[in-house]
Structure 1
Amino acid sequence: MSEYGVHEAKTHFSKLVDKVLAGEEVVITRSGEPLIKWVPVQRKRKPNFGFARGQFTIPDDFDETPEEFAEYM
């Protein structure tokens, strides 16, 4: 965990953001008193829809009931 004063944090904002995104906790202080603790946000994984696109085909009779099951319907 690193501590930075408000003025120093303002001056080096981009570098501090990079540190936080790399997993480091950053505390912003004023007159030596901790004010803010920056931690990275846990991002939600996006679903991977379409990962098998083009690898399978759906037969034309997909939604038709096979004859051997028709008597149970």
Structure 2
Amino acid sequence: METINIHEAKTHLSRLIEKAARGESFIIAKAGKPMVKVIPFDQPSEVAQRRLGFLVGQIVVPDDFDQMGSAEIEELFGA
């Protein structure tokens, strides 16, 4: 991934916006230290790319899951 100095980013902002809009991500750095990652607006972030339901059919959650260990928990809290 390309790293661009903040001064260059300010100078060529329009060109860099077009580049990001085409799907090309890049990093803006200040004094060589990465500061921000620029990605296209419609590109999902890494967090949004999580796969829900990928364990369907591989595990079984018991019907009484929310009650499991309740006696021990009550005993620990003195109920």
TM-score, scaled to structure 1: 0.55
Matches of 2:32 and 2:22, distance apart in 1? 25
- The 5-angstrom pairing of residues 11-26 of structure 1 reads 11-26=11-26
Residues 45-72 of structure 1: CA distance to partner in whole angstroms, max 9, x if unpaired? Answer: xxxxxxxxxxxxxxxxxxxxxxxxxxxx
Q: Give the structure 1 partner of residue 31 of structure 2.
A: 31
**RMSD between superposed Cα atoms in Å:** 1.3
Q: CA deviation at 1:41?
A: 1.1
Gaps of 5+ in 2: 44-79
- The 5-angstrom pairing of residues 34-53 of structure 1 reads 34-42=34-42
Considering fraction of residues, name the structure with more helix.
Answer: 2
Q: CA deviation at 1:10?
A: 0.1
- Counterpart AA for 1:37: K
Matches of 1:21 and 1:8, distance apart in 2? 18
Larger radius of gyration: 1
Matches of 2:32 and 2:15, distance apart in 1? 21
| Runs of 4+, deviation exceeding 4 Å | none
Matches of 1:42 and 1:18, distance apart in 2? 14
Count of equivalent residues:
43
Gaps of 5+ in 1: 44-73
TM-score, scaled to structure 2: 0.51
